[in-house]
């Protein structure tokens, strides 16, 4: 079911003011943030709320400017992203048509992400998700390039690990 960027932003309301108990670098430059209760899925532990930055270019900034980006060395990314678990998620800004999302942690850090898939959109190829928020009751909020933000079932095969 497609949703507006305003409705998508409201999905984050239960997380505002809460710190992720885990903020980490995954494969490549993928980032994950776990909130809520710990839940075992297969071999992995996730939060009952699990934010996954997937097919996107992102940059992590503090008050002085960029700290790391998706193109930075893995060691630098890992160190910087781990620091976010000490800071509450304070705001999520989803720009019109879903072309950019900014996650703010405390008054100190902002994580800005844009999709890789701009070319996919132009060539009528189904663009990949650029972030996903796995929520309670087997729901996932999915952002794709363009205006494609939707809520889907997370227990469908495409979202299972």
147 neighbors 130 (Cβ within 8 angstroms): no
Average pLDDT in the 13-32 region? 96
55 neighbors 70 (Cβ within 8 angstroms): no
Q: Kindly give, in sequence order, each residue whose CB lies less than 8 Å from that of residue 35, ignoring residues fewer than 6 positions away.
A: 15, 18, 19, 20, 21, 47, 48, 49, 50, 51, 89
Q: What pLDDT is recorded for position 110?
A: 98
* More confident position, 155 or 68: 68
Q: Is pLDDT above 80 for 98? A: no
pLDDT tier, 157 (very low <50, low <70, confident <90, very high otherwise): low
∠ CA 2-155-120, rounded to 5°: 50
Q: How far apart are CA 148 and CA 128, in angstroms?
A: 10
Q: How far apart are CA 18 and CA 88, in angstroms?
A: 5
Which two three-digit tokens encode residue 43? 């071999």
Average pLDDT in the 78-97 region? 92
């Amino acid at each position: 079911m497609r949703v507006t960027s305003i409705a998508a932003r409201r999905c984050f309301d239960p997380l505002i003011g809460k710190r992720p108990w885990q903020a980490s670098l995954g494969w490549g430059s993928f980032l994950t943030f776990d909130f809520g209760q710990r839940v075992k899925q297969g071999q992995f532990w996730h939060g009952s709320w699990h934010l996954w930055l997937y097919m996107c270019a992102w940059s992590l900034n503090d008050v002085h400017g960029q700290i790391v980006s998706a193109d930075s060395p893995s060691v630098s990314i890992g160190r910087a992203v781990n620091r976010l678990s000490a800071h509450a998620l304070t705001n999520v800004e989803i720009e019109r048509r879903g072309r950019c999302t900014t996650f703010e942690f405390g008054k100190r850090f902002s994580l800005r992400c844009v999709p890789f898939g701009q070319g996919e959109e132009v060539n009528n190829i189904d663009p990949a998700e650029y972030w996903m928020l796995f929520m309670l009751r087997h729901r996932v909020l999915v952002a794709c390039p363009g205006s494609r933000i939707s809520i889907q079932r997370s227990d469908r095969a495409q979202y299972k690990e």
